[in-house]
Structure 1
């Protein structure tokens, strides 16, 4: 099974741009690559900040483009989104009776959990005791099922100071409490940071998928809210996306940059001996 992940699309950042805003162009290019690349996903998860302002028009534009996908599409909210706008554009989105857009569904022996870390008006993450208890109950009910968790906000300190939470924020402690002792969780995949990072949380491998929208500059120097220092914050590095491959035992994540490149080698008869030798070595 292959789970594609797009994150931080930010449609509507430049609503008056003509003929199409930069974020829309980057989204189209990424979606085009996703649909044409040789590894057909079984599902696509868009892990938050689908829009930049949470407006219905931006959600509608996104839904029109995603309608091209021949596989199920699952939507999540980020801090730039609003739940009402997302549900209006994507009415089949799974959500809990508590009003949060979260779900836990088993696919081919893997429990795929999507968390809601939105608190309207707050840039950083949120994970209240209600969401903590919901997640704990889902994991308790599936202790023997390998699990992957998708969430918008990374519950870790990356070193990019202006984007980072404090390590002891209550929402992070709530998430840690829900995950305690849940050894079936194989990985946590996030967005929000607009850069790729790999680390762990509560002993669980955690990675951040880079954004479709422009990336955050990789600058880990201390930053002062009182002294603008002219540093780069956002760059035009190419958009990226992830493919998470589940083989029934192990989850492996692949990341691709969306840009123009040349193929330097094709698999023709001249390379067949090499492929045969490599396969022979495996026994």
Structure 2
């Protein structure tokens, strides 16, 4: 089974740019690239920061665009999103408490989409109501589960990023720990960085967004860092006893060399002789 993971698309008004890049154009490029290479994906998930300013028009445009996309898509919201505006366009994605949380079953497991957004802050929250929802969903089904969220659920050890990570990370990880035998993987966004690790023994991964990129500048302790690395999306493959996750840098426009090209002519792959 194959699943696509996009994050931090940061949609803006048509023609507006962030970091010298047009988020709408780059999102369109990501959709086209993913569909060309992975038209057999069972699901696409976009883990938040759907809009850069939480503008209603961005969500309206996104809905129109995704309604025409041939793959099923599920959404999480992030710190740049506005829940009320989002739910006015996607009302069916609300849980009983008004958070953007839901379920989608796939061949690889039951997907749970979590809402870690909190108004007026870039840090994430996962309050008692949301923890209760997640506990109930994990308890009512045998799994396996795949979790999707916006904020990083563990420290990334980059001070400016950890200052806006998940504030309730310890209770969240404690809940995950109690169900870790049923959770295959946790996918998140927010940091605009390729990241991998684990929480309570459960593997986690993240990636750069579809527009602007961050950089792991460990010497910087106050300001978020940005760079011009290529835009990306993720593709995950699920076997019975494994998960493989790629970050596809579709924004890269340099050469790609394969065996048989001039750099590799003197090397025989079959005999390992050069």
Q: Same fold (TM over 0.5)?
A: yes
1:179 aligns with 2:171: no
Alignment of 1:6-17 (within 5 A): 6-12=6-12, 17=16
Gaps of 5+ in 2: 261-267
Q: What are the superposed Cα offsets for residues 124-160 of structure 1, whole Å, 9 maximum, x if unpaired?
A: 1100011111111111122x32111110001111122
The residue number in structure 2 matching 1:189 is 187
Q: What are the superposed Cα offsets for residues 216-266 of structure 1, whole Å, 9 maximum, x if unpaired?
A: 1220114247xxxxxx82222211111122234432212210133555448
The residue number in structure 2 matching 1:160 is 158
Q: What are the superposed Cα offsets for residues 12-64 of structure 1, whole Å, 9 maximum, x if unpaired?
A: 1x66639x961122212111111111452111111100000111111122233
The residue number in structure 2 matching 1:221 is 219
Conserved 8 A contact 2:158-2:221: no
Count the aligned residue pairs. 260
Conserved 8 A contact 2:2-2:42: yes
Question: Cα distance 1:21–1:207, how it changes in 2: closer, same or farther (>3 A)?
Answer: closer
Alignment of 1:224-263 (within 5 A): 224=222, 233-258=225-250, 259-262=252-255
Gaps of 5+ in 1: 226-231, 268-273, 278-283
Q: Distance in 2 between matches of 1:29 and 1:254?
A: 18
The residue number in structure 1 matching 2:22 is 22
TM-score scaled by structure 1? 0.82
Question: Cα distance 1:30–1:16, how it changes in 2: closer, same or farther (>3 A)?
Answer: closer
Q: Distance in 1 between matches of 2:225 and 2:220?
A: 13
Conserved 8 A contact 1:217-1:233: yes
Conserved 8 A contact 1:132-1:177: no
RMSD: 2.7
The residue number in structure 1 matching 2:45 is 45
- Partner-residue secondary structure (3-state), 1:148: strand
TM-score scaled by structure 2? 0.85
Conserved 8 A contact 2:236-2:243: yes
